[in-house]
Chain A
Amino acid sequence: ETGINAEYGGLMQHPTLAPTSAPWANDTTLAGDWFYELTPYSWGAIGASFAIAISVAGAAWGIFITGSSILGAAVKVPRIRTKNLISVIFCEAVAIYGIIMAIIFQSKLKDVGHFGDFVPKDYYSGFALFWAGITVGLSNLACGVCVGITGSGAALSDAANPALFVKILVIEIFGSALGLFGVIISIVQASNADFVGNGRSK
């Protein structure tokens, strides 16, 4: 049996670094076992950081796209300034989703003792937090860009014809729902994540 050492409940040291008299000395590893060689903590922590970092990148991207258009159009048509800040607020919301998710993920990371005390449930939790972070990060990236580009169009058309703004706002609302989808799925993914360990070191 390769990979998981049943007696210890988890993979321990890198096979080539282990002493040859160790019980696992003759284990052969597959390439995929690399996934087990990173501790679940790293997977979980990277997930939490992706959640916030990529969401913020999406929000920032959206804000600069819509912000520059609002600035340009408002020079000749100052009345659009206040109304079009809604687009910026929608982009900002995307960053807030990222913060919330990162706090949730981070609160699930718990110390379970020695390296060797990880159980399969811990590995599951690590992977779940990682992919939940990717989910919410990339959805928010797309959502932020979408709302930004639409907001830019909204500013320029509002400057030309005030009646258009509310119609384009509807498009932005649909766009910002995309970020919410990411948040919902990511919460579902992360909901069963729990670091238990095998209780040996505690």
Chain B
Amino acid sequence: MSAGSMLYFNVNDGFLEGIVRGFKLGILTSADYSNLVQCESLDDLKLHLQTTDYGDFLENEPSPLHTTTIAEKCTGKMVEQFNYLRAHSVQPLSTFLDYITYGYMIDNVVLLITGTLHERDPEELKEKCHPLGKFDAMGSITVEQTTADLYNNVLVDTPLGPYIQGALAVQDLDEKHIEEIRNTLYKAYLEDFDRYCRTLGDATYEVMHQLLGFEADRRSINITLNSFGTELEKEDRAKLYPRLGLLYPTGIRTLAEAEDPDSVQAAVAHIPTFKELFSQVGYDEDKSLEDAFFEHEVKLNKLAFETQFGYGCFYSYFKLKEQEIRNIVWIAECIVQDQKSKINQYINIY
């Protein structure tokens, strides 16, 4: 918190910071989760969710409920809150909130491209897109045939335009390269977001740098682990690592050379955080690396609320809300599939 931010922040953003902290108070606690895991059916789940901040959001849904409906409605609630904040914000908070949506936009673009390749119905695809990542040209993606057309006609006008230029060689739009496209876009997005946060002052940058850095490290590790057994060459893989985070620049160099999961673990062992996360996975049979990453992410996002007069809490709130939706969907799926033994594998937030 630099002196400047304390003096001027509240002029434009004080009200919204109060609002977002109010939203955060509505995040489900461990007491709520212990009620939810005891539900026998999705209708019970709906009943319990009525007493939380979600309220009557499932009221008009015909029973029997499906988990996809619950997921959709929970996301709808989150989008409502986001739109409220976005509508009331002024610069530079409004640009910051827009940056949060670009991540979802990238996922939507990739979803639409994959769907087109498999010749799915465009309307169906649009319904599957994340609502926060909607952009105007979404409809025209489905008719593009080559990457070049896609870039020139559709993506260049979206906020994702700058992430494509220079980063991607014109490649065939096919199954193999789609993940590369996703990762390249996301790398450019993370670096751009970090650069933007630096202009917002210390209070925001301290929090966001850490959060974006962890996201970048996590992507680097996941890209490496997922590339074993595929045709992705090491040099190509190295180009996908974001230049951000604790693993940059030395950890990435070692990661680029890794050939198997053990060497990945060795490559990141010099950073205590990752050493700890990997060893947690080693001890616990049920816990996957993804779970460990999610847990750590929740911890970092909770810390963002310790800083006042910064924008980090806005970003963190939506990440925590996403995690909450994942938790609710996990619990709902376990109830439906009658897998009560696994039901406690959600990640507790508060």
Partners in one complex: yes
Chain A interface (Cβ < 8 Å from any Cβ of B) = 61, 64-65, 68-77, 145, 149, 152-153, 155-156, 159-160
B11 contact from A64, A153, A159, A160, Cβ within 8 A:
A64
- Contact B15 A72, beta carbon cutoff 8 Å: yes
- Give the total number of A-B pairs whose CB atoms are below 8 A apart: 62
Q: Is B10 an interface residue (CB 8 A)?
A: yes
A76-B19, A153-B308 given; 15 more Cβ-contact pairs under 8 Å: A61-B7, A65-B14, A68-B10, A69-B10, A69-B14, A71-B15, A72-B18, A72-B22, A73-B19, A76-B26, A152-B14, A152-B308, A156-B17, A156-B18, A159-B22
Whole-angstrom CA separation of A160 from B27 in the bound complex: 12
The residue on B at minimum CB distance from A160 is: B25
Look across to chain B and name the residue whose beta carbon is closest to the beta carbon of A161.
B25
Complex alpha-carbon distance, A44 and B17, angstroms: 43
Query: Given B6, B10, B18, which contacts A75 in the complex, CB threshold below 8 Å?
Result: B18
Question: Cβ of B26: which chain A residues have Cβ within 8 Å of it?
Answer: 76
Complex contact A76–B10 (CB within 8 A): no
Interface membership of B16, Cβ < 8 A:
yes
> Given A61, A145, A149, A156, which contacts B21 in the complex, CB threshold below 8 Å?
A156
Closest chain B residue, CB of each to CB of A73: B18
Q: Indicate if B23 sits at the interface (CB-CB under 8 A).
A: yes
> How many residues of chain B are within 8 Å of chain A by beta carbon?
16
Of all chain B residues, the one with the shortest Cβ separation from A71 is B15
A78 to chain B, nearest CB (A): 10
In the assembled complex, the Cα of A74 lies from the Cα of B17 at a distance in Å of 11
Contact with A along B95-108 (1 / 0, CB 8 A): 00000000000000
Main secondary structure of the interface of A (DSSP, over half): helix
Nearest A residue (CB) for B13: A68
* Residues of chain B with a CB closer than 8 A to A68's CB: 10-11, 14-15, 18
Contacts of B11 in A (CB 8 A): 64, 68
- A60 CB to nearest chain B CB (Å): 12
Chain A to chain B contacts (Cβ below 8 Å), 24 pairs? A65-B10, A65-B14, A68-B11, A68-B14, A68-B15, A69-B10, A69-B14, A69-B15, A70-B18, A71-B18, A72-B14, A72-B16, A72-B17, A73-B19, A73-B22, A75-B19, A76-B19, A77-B22, A152-B308, A156-B17, A156-B18, A159-B22, A159-B25, A160-B25
Interfacial residues of chain B within 19-51, with CB under 8 A of chain A in the complex: 19, 21-23, 25-26
Question: Nearest chain-B residue to A65 (Cβ)?
Answer: B10
**In the complex the two chains form, is A75's CB within 8 Å of B14's CB?**
no
Report the bound CA distance from A74 to B18 in whole Å.
8
Chain A residues lying within 8 Å of B16, measured Cβ to Cβ, are 72
Counting from the closest, the 5 A-B pairs by CB-CB distance are A72-B18, A76-B22, A68-B14, A73-B18, A72-B15
A160 pairs with B18, CB closer than 8 A: no
Residues in chain A near residue B21, CB distance under 8 A: 72-73, 156, 159-160
Q: Is B7 in contact with A152, judged by CB distance below 8 angstroms?
A: no
- Which residues of chain B are near A159, meaning CB under 8 Å? 18, 21-22, 25
CB-nearest residue of chain A to B26: A76
CA distance A14 to B15 in the complex (A): 55
The closest CB in chain B to the CB of A72 belongs to B18
